[in-house]
Chain A
Amino acid sequence: MSDIYMEPLGEQAIIIRFGTVIDQNTHEKVRKFAAWMDRFPIPGMVEYIPAYTTVTVFYDPLAVMDGKRLDPHTQDQMLSPYERVKRMLHEALEQSSDIRPAAGNIVEIPVLYGGEMGPDLAEVAAYHQISEEEVIRIHSQGEYQVFMIGFAPGFPYIGGMSEKIATPRKKSPRLRIPSGSVGIAGTQTGIYPLETPGGWQIIGRSPVSLFRPNHNPPSLLQAGDYVRFIPISREAYEAYKEEES
């Protein structure tokens, strides 16, 4: 566990770093630890957010101190809330090594690429000096793993996209990206579940709903699932939309 590093995110959360690159090995560690936290949350924990290489544990410092006052005069002699949380998480890390998280589902996501639905498709193609068709072909070829859900409700961060179409984020984020938009940021790809600001390169749009507030869980995709992008026509897009409403 010596390669695992912890640091504070403010005074009510702690980031546990399991690695420094997006890879399967780090992802497995994140999923394992998340599965452990689901079963054995530490006292005072509010919730946790798993990401590519990190799990961030949010806690209530007062609950962590379990009624003990953080008095400036005695502070030197007692562990701070952060130090307590860190110690409990280290113990959890040691105990969680044998846990097996559940296997992920395979989910197909239909996408209408380019045109007004994908205003940055041309930019991505130009960046790599390939045709727009080639970008679509490469993007819809892979079976991608959902590494994390974040940024917006149900928004999947999908890794393992080909370097051939990897493109940096836009210099300044757009103020409005329509829901369903499919984007690229570096080697990441994802789908915007709601209209929101964002900095990703938008190459297409999907008619499916990723955020379903009346379902449990409210997100269509979960970390660990697999996604396939299926190119569809304008007609198929409209038909899907019809069905959804």
Chain B
Amino acid sequence: MMLKVIRPGLLTSMQDGGRTGFQKHGVIVSGVMDPFAHRIANLLVGNEGNEATLELSLMGDAWEATEHVLLAICGADMNPMADGVPLPMWKPVWIRAGTMIKFSGCRRGARAYVAIAGGFQVPLVMNSRSTYLRAGIGGYQGRALQKGDELKAEAPSERSQKLFDYLEKHAEGRTFYAPDWGIAAELFPRYDASPVIRVIRGNQYDWFTEKSRQDFFQKGFRVNTQSDRMGYRLDGPVLERIESDRELISEAVTFGTVQVPAEGNPIVLLADRQTTGGYPKIAQIVSADLPLIAQTKPGDTLYFREIAHQEAERLLFEREQLIQQAKLGIQLKYM
């Protein structure tokens, strides 16, 4: 055992990059809401990148480290503490057995990601460790963490072990120890309560009235309290279709699809989205900006800005390059 849940957070679940390959059977992808923070957290502890991490939403947990652990905390700032002392984020941290690790509410962002050296140990369900809450499968017993849960890690890579040993040696008598390097602040996305989110036009963009199309790009949309990992419902100007009774023949949707039911309030589909949908799609959030929306919470206001499809492709490659650079940089530290 490595971590024991003393007090569960609001919604903490184990996630990886998602359960792909079964969407034709209607099985949703799930996986992390913020893929960037998840991957970086994994890389920082010497993992490959897609090992299961813990996703903490809005209000974090309290855990006891029952053995020495090597963790990295990325994403939202939930004021992490080790025995009452602030823990650094976006860095690998070695923590002594017996330490109480405590998170509280979000100061910035909405979701924190905790990676452990080796990755969390849970069985693969349909090739993934992601928790699919609604179906009760995957992750830790198919559910969010509860008091008393005991979490284990897989065997660490050689790289992880080296860093573990190095930090343990330097920790001396301390509760925890982190190296002086980490991910530079300018690399991680700036989580904002009113982010500008880049989109490309949706497949049914033309179905909407001229005024609604203008409103979509000019007005703000507030994240409704009925928002979760499946999707965010947005409040703002009502988006009207040119032909109000025209029905869409159901087709595939994806992470970041912005669809509009007949009532006119858009829904952004997120990690636990359905595989197909019958509402017209006004826009599609570009991959590079998915972390921005994942880190907003009910009450925050979103603004949408249109970019070209080719620009979205370029941004995706740019983001990937950034992650590869970070990966190389981290690997050099582990030599």
Spell out A's residues near B (CB within 8 Å). Answer: 7-13, 15, 20-22, 34, 46-54, 56, 58, 61-62, 69-70, 72, 75, 80-82, 148-155, 157, 168-169, 171-173, 175, 185-186, 188, 193-197, 199, 211, 213, 217-219, 222-223
B309 near A82 with CB under 8 A, answer yes
Top 4 nearest A-B pairs by Cβ distance? A150-B276, A56-B252, A219-B25, A70-B317
* Given A56-B251, A171-B262, A185-B278: A153 touches B314 (CB 8 Å cut-off): no
How many B residues have CB within 8 A of the partner chain? 50
**Complex Cα gap A137–B335 (Å):** 73
> Within the complex, which residue of B28, B254, B261, B310 is in contact with A10, where a contact is CB–CB below 8 Å?
B254
Instruction: Tell me if B313 is interfacial: C-beta within 8 Å of chain A.
Output: yes
B21 within 8 A of A: yes
Q: Nearest Cβ in chain A — how far from B109, in angstroms?
A: 23
Q: Of all chain A residues, which has the CB nearest B313? A: A11
- A75-B310, A196-B134 known; A149+B22 contact, CB < 8 A: no
B126 contacts A218, C-beta separation under 8 Å: yes
Tell me the interface secondary structure of chain B in the complex.
Answer: loop
Q: Given A11-B286, A70-B314, check contact A154 B137 (CB 8 Å).
A: no
In the complex, A11→B317 CA distance in Å? 11
B313 engages A81 (CB within 8 Å): yes
Contacts of B135 in A (CB 8 A): 153, 194, 211, 213
Q: In the complex, which of the residues A49, A154, A217 contacts B252, with contact meaning CB atoms closer than 8 Å?
A: A49
Q: How many cross-chain pairs have Cβ atoms below 8 Å apart between A and B?
A: 164
Q: Which residue of B lies closest to A199 (CB)?
A: B261
Whole-angstrom CA separation of A220 from B20 in the bound complex: 19
On B, residues with C-beta under 8 Å from A are 20-28, 125-126, 134-135, 137, 200, 203, 226, 230, 245, 247, 249-257, 261-263, 274-278, 284-287, 309-310, 312-314, 316-317, 320-321
> Given the complex, which residues of B lie within 8 Å of A51, measured CB to CB?
249-252, 276
Which chain B residues lie closer than 8 Å to A54 at the CB level?
251-252
Contact A72 B26 (CB under 8 A): no
Expressed in whole angstroms, the minimum distance between the Cβ of A143 and any Cβ of chain B is 21
Tell me which of B125, B261, B284 contacts A173 (CB under 8 A).
B261
B198 CB → nearest A CB, Å: 11
Q: A10-B312, A49-B252, A80-B313 are in contact. Are A62 and B320 (CB under 8 A)?
A: yes
Q: Which among A72, A155, A194, A199 is the interface contact of B314 at CB below 8 angstroms?
A: A72
Partner of B24, one of A50, A61, A157, A195: A50
Contact present for B247 and A46 (CB under 8 Å): no
Query: How far is B252's CA from A34's CA once the two chains are assembled, in angstroms?
Result: 14
How far, in Å, is B153 (CB) from chain A's closest CB?
A: 25
